[in-house]
Each structure stands twice: as structure tokens, then as C-alpha cells.
Amino acid sequence: MSPLFKRWQPNQRSIALIKLTLFTICLWPLARLLLPFYASVTGDLVLGFSGDELGANPIEFIIRDLGTWALNFLLITLCVTPLRKLTGLNWLLRLRRMLGLYAFFYALLHFNIYLGLDQSYDWAEIAKDILKRPFITVGMLTFALMIPLAVTSNAAMIKALGGKAWQKLHMLIYPLTICAVLHYWWLVKLDTTQPAIYAALLAVLLGARLLGRWQENRTALRSAA
Amino acid sequence: MLIKRPDDIFPSEITPEGLYLRRREFIKTGVGLVGLAAGTTLLPEAAHALPKPVPPFSTAKKSPLSTTGETLTPHQDVTNYNNYYEFGTGKADPSRRADTLQTRPWTVSIEGLVKQPKTLGIDDIIKLVPLEERIYRMRCVEGWSMVIPWVGLPLASLLKQVEPLGSAKYVEFYTAVQADNMPGINRRYLDWPYIEGLRLDEAMHPLTIMAVGLYGEALPNQNGAPMRLVVPWKYGFKGGKSIVKIRFTDKEPRTSWMKAGPSEYGFYSNVNPEVDHPRWSQAKERRIGEILKRPTLMFNGYADQVASLYTGMDLRKNF
């Protein structure tokens, strides 16, 4: 499709370097939360952070921000395949696992801070929250659906499951990302602009896949006829 | 009605150390204000034409109705973490953008079911009765809370300026719309102007105040300058900001939040840990400055003073 891009095939070493760079960049959202915290403890500027960045309600800010980044990484992960198809850069696929695991990593932090700092590990209260609050229910569902994907993300598990079954299992990312957007939508008090933007992006990413599949089917039918 | 008087307590016990150490700044601010006001009145030509200087907010007398035994939320947080949707829905939007709000000249019209409607200038309202410092808890419907040293006057003393008719049962509050100065007005999250309301007995209750200042200074714009309603036993959104009109009615007002979400926001909106918001629990709250949540108190801790207003009412239905 784009011969200019296609020409560049990174070797093992370049891939390793790209991965290391990406790994570091993906830690930035976490650093943005930890550095102000560290700065407010020491009273010094840390990499330009003073400690005021988290605002008057830092715990809420942290919970929201971690959730936002979990969702960001889900969408970024979903971008890999369309981007690969558009550019012909097949090696992009090799970054997908890390991006997906980062989504899980931020969701795990988000989930744990909710359990600890929002609910003080009050399990009865947490159970009530899950049953009574649709946005918590759907958030929990999102996280629960992410667990099998994270667990089966290594090469050994792919081998054990077999490529087809593994691929089928990992299609769970579609419904779980829809759940993640719903989780966001339902917690917003009034101004749904942000979740609406996420919903639109997700619709484009899922729509592109449906369109691709439909076209594939049509060509398959034509060549059969 | 039973009004519980707070226990006697030494000032050193209720004034947080930081604030105590900064007391000279407050006094200076106050003196500055007097100086400014005096400066203008001392211009020879205008000396007699100008109204008397506005009394400094810092000398407001401490009210026995203040909440005691609570640590004040730092000034920085009270003035930088706000909900004032006319300036945007982000918590920091109001402090960043509300400097455009025009707070002078400012009049408040009091009308509706009254014998003699009146329009009062804000500086006359401030001088109506001696200002009081009222330290109150403020519980937001979103699940966070603060303790704020307001400066203001009992709403009752303002409402008594007009003679409400016997048919008046409710009071409706209209807040300012300055389309050119309020970037949030173009977004129709809420039906502007922002409308709030109280039952007449709630409005006349001694705990209900019109705040014109906080922390011994004039009310910052982001907190609802020049005058906002404070009803400490209700969720924070009941306290309309930058009020321009007060109307006595015989029908329960339909507030902006009731219009935006009738199933989520009721007319009363009393703080109640047992009646949840349909989408989230109201049992706990995060006090700004604290890490873990604390239990929310019935009527935000003012049950002794206000529970009698709701005797016999089903608070689940009248949420």
C-alpha cells in the first residue's frame, strides 16, 4: 500500500530498541502521578513537578487519571491492526502485546486504588457497590474480562491454546472496551463530552473492522463466483 | 425549634496553626480594603457623594453557630477546587476563568409574593447587619467535603427587608448570567440561569446564610462573588452562586438540577448518608486534604438544628 514505509524492516536489534523506548514512554502517565507526590513529600521540585499538579483532591485525580489511561491504552491497542493495514508496517504487531499489557497495568492500579483508598478494603461495601451501581458493575466486568487476556498474553500460552482459540479469546477486547467506555459514561455527573469522544473513537475503530470484514467477505464471494 | 449551642471552646483550639500564624496577613488585607475604600472617599469632590466604605470582612464577628472542632480546609483548596459550571465543568476552571465575572455594579432584586418588592445594591446588603464569620462543613453531592470559614449574613435578615405575603411558601434563587463573561454558558449542560430554591422555613432558618466573603476576605469570584447562598445541611449545589434575584412563590421551585436529572436530584437535596444518589453511594465522603473517606453525617452533622424541619417526611421520597 505504502511502498515507502514497506521498505523499512527493522531487524531484531531495532525492534528491541523500539520496544524499550515505547516501554519507557508508557510509564510516563504513572510518573506524572508519582513525581508530584514525591515532590510534595520532599518539598522540592522534582523534574519540574511541585506537588500541586494533582489538585485539592489528589486521590480522586489519581483514580480518574489511571482509569483514563487504562482506556487510552485499550484504544491505542485497538489502533495497531488498522495502522498496520494502512501503512503495511507489519512489525507494528510486535508492539501490541506491550500496549495491551499496559492497559491492564493501569486498570490494575485503578482497580486497587478504588479498593484501598476509596473503599478502605471494606469488602461488604465493595460487594454492595458492585451489585447496586451500574457503573461499578460494568467497571468490574471490564477488569474481569481483561484478566484472561493478560494471563494468556505470553508465547507459551498462545502455543498452549493454539493460535485460533487464542485469537478468538482475545476478541474479548471489543466488548470489554465497550464496557470501559460505558463505565466512564455512567460515572460522569453531567458533562458527557469526554466519554462521548471515547465512544466516537471506539466506534471508528470497531467500525473499521466491520467494514474490513465485510469487504473481505465480498471479495471472497466474488472470487468464488 | 431546638438550636444546639456549640460547646465553649478556646479560639486557639479552633484556629488552625497555619491560619493563626498568618493572622497579620488577614489584618493587613482588611486594612488594605479599608485603606482602598477610605482612599476613594477622601477624594475631596466625591467625599459626600460616595457611600460609606464597605466594612472589612476580616472583622466579622465569630458566630456561636459556627461548627467547632473541625480543621479548616486550606484557603488554596477552597478557592481552587470549585464547581461553577458557568465557567466550565473542570474543578480548576472557575479559579482560572472567573476573573471575567463583573461583580460591580451589582443589584439583587427581591420580588414575587411580597408586599413591597425591592432592589438592593450589593454594598448596601453587606452593610445591612454586622457580618458574621460562620464556619461550616460543605458536602458536595459528588462525595467530597470541606470546612469553610464563610463571612456573611443570615438570609433571614435579608428576606425581612421585604414583607413576604402569607401565601409565600418557597423562595427561589436566580444566579447571574453574563454570557460574554462566562465561557460555560454556551454549553447547555444546565438550564441557565441556574435556579435553586428553599422552603420558606429552610430559608429563614438561622443556619442559612448569604455569604459575601470567606477566610476574612471578600468572596472570590470562583466561589460565587459577590454573594452566594450557603445551606450547610444540604448538598453544595443548593448554594447558588452570584445571586441576582430572590423570588417568593407559592409553588415548589423547579431547580436547574431537577430539570437536568429529575431522578437524580430532588428539591430538598439534604445531606443524607442513607439516601444514595441513584448512581453512587452517599454513605462516605472524602474530606479535602484527607486520603481515606470518612462517614457522611445525617444532615451533614447539623441534624440537631434542622431535623425538626422534616418531621414526618419520608426523606427517601423527598430526596
Number of structural domains (chain B) is 1
Q: Which domain holds residue B86?
A: 60-310
DSSP state of B47: T
List of chain A residues whose C-beta atoms are within 8 Å of the C-beta of residue B190: 190
Domain ranges of chain A: 11-56, 70-215
Model's pTM, two decimal places?
0.84
Helix axes A173-187, A134-151, angle to 10 degrees: 150
pLDDT of B213 strictly over 90: yes
Nearest to A57 among B144, B260, B280 (CB): B144
Nearest residue on chain B to A191, alpha-carbon basis: B189
Q: What's the mean pLDDT in A185-201? A: 94
Count the neighbouring beta carbons within 10 Å of the beta carbon of residue B119.
11
Integer Cα distance of A19 and A91 in angstroms: 11
pLDDT at A2: 53
| A126 and chain B in contact, CB less than 8 A | no
pLDDT band at B44 (very low <50, low <70, confident <90, very high): very low
Q: Which of B246, B257, B286 is nearest to A64 (CA)?
A: B286
Integer Cα distance of A69 and A121 in angstroms: 23
Residue B23 lies in a domain: no
Contact assessment for residue A57 and residue B288, using Cβ atoms and an 8 Å cutoff: yes
**Residues B258-307 pLDDT 10s:** 999 999 999 999 999 999 999 999 999 999 999 999 999 999 999 999 99
pLDDT of B100 strictly over 70: yes
Mutate to test the interface with B, among A128, A131, A189, A193 (most CBs of B within 10 A): A189
| A124 and chain B in contact, CB less than 8 A | no
Give the number of A-B residue pairs with CB atoms closer than 8 Å.
52
Count of CA atoms in the C-beta half-sphere (13 A) of A2:
11
DSSP string, A99-138: HHHHHHHHHHHHHHHIIIIITTT-HHHHHHHHHH-HHHHH
Q: What's the mean pLDDT in A200-222? A: 90
List of chain B residues whose C-beta atoms are within 8 Å of the C-beta of residue A54: none
Domain of B275, CATH number, reads: 3.90.420.10
Alpha helices in B79-173 (DSSP H): 93-97, 122-126, 155-159
Q: Which three cell numbers stand for residue A32?
A: 506524572
Nearest residue on chain A to B279, alpha-carbon basis: A133
Residue B157 lies in a domain: yes
**3-state secondary structure (DSSP) of residue B198:** strand
pLDDT of B31 strictly over 50: no
Nearest to B292 among A120, A125, A129 (CB): A120
| Percent of chain A topping pLDDT 90 | 77
Q: Mean pLDDT score of chain B, rounded to an integer?
A: 88
pLDDT of B190 strictly over 70: yes
Nearest to B142 among A59, A118, A189 (CB): A189
Task: Determine which of A79-83, B21-25, B114-118, B261-265 has the lowest per-residue pLDDT on average.
Answer: B21-25
Integer Cα distance of B63 and B153 in angstroms: 10
Residue B21 lies in a domain: no
**Residues B110-154 pLDDT 10s:** 999 999 999 999 999 999 999 999 999 999 999 999 999 999 999
Complex-level ipTM: 0.85
Q: Mean pLDDT score of chain A, rounded to an integer?
A: 92
With residues binned 3-state (H G I as helix, E B as strand, rest as coil), the percentages for chain A, rounded to 5, are 85, 0, 15
pLDDT at B41: 42
**Residues B55-82 pLDDT 10s:** 679 889 999 999 999 999 999 999 999 9
The residue type found at B25 is E
Helix axes A28-42, A58-87, angle to 10 degrees: 160
**Top-confidence residue, B1 or A185:** A185
List of chain A residues whose C-beta atoms are within 8 Å of the C-beta of residue B141: 189
pLDDT at A207: 95
**Top-confidence residue, B187 or B221:** B221
Q: Which of B166, B232, B163, B161 is nearest to B202 (CA)?
A: B232
Contact assessment for residue B294 and residue B257, using Cβ atoms and an 8 Å cutoff: no
Integer Cα distance of A60 and A46 in angstroms: 22
A60/B144 touch (CB, cutoff 8 Å), yes or no: yes
| A65 and chain B in contact, CB less than 8 A | no
**Residues A59-68 pLDDT 10s:** 999 999 999 9
Nearest residue on chain B to A121, alpha-carbon basis: B292
pLDDT at A123: 96
pLDDT at B47: 44
For residue A6, give how far its alpha carbon lies from the nearest alpha carbon of chain B (Å).
Answer: 44
pLDDT of B169 strictly over 60: yes
**Residues A124-179 pLDDT 10s:** 999 999 999 999 999 999 999 999 999 999 999 999 999 999 999 999 999 999 99
For residue A190, give how far its alpha carbon lies from the nearest alpha carbon of chain B (Å).
Answer: 7
Contact map slice: A 178-197 vs B, CB within 8 A: 186-187, 189-191
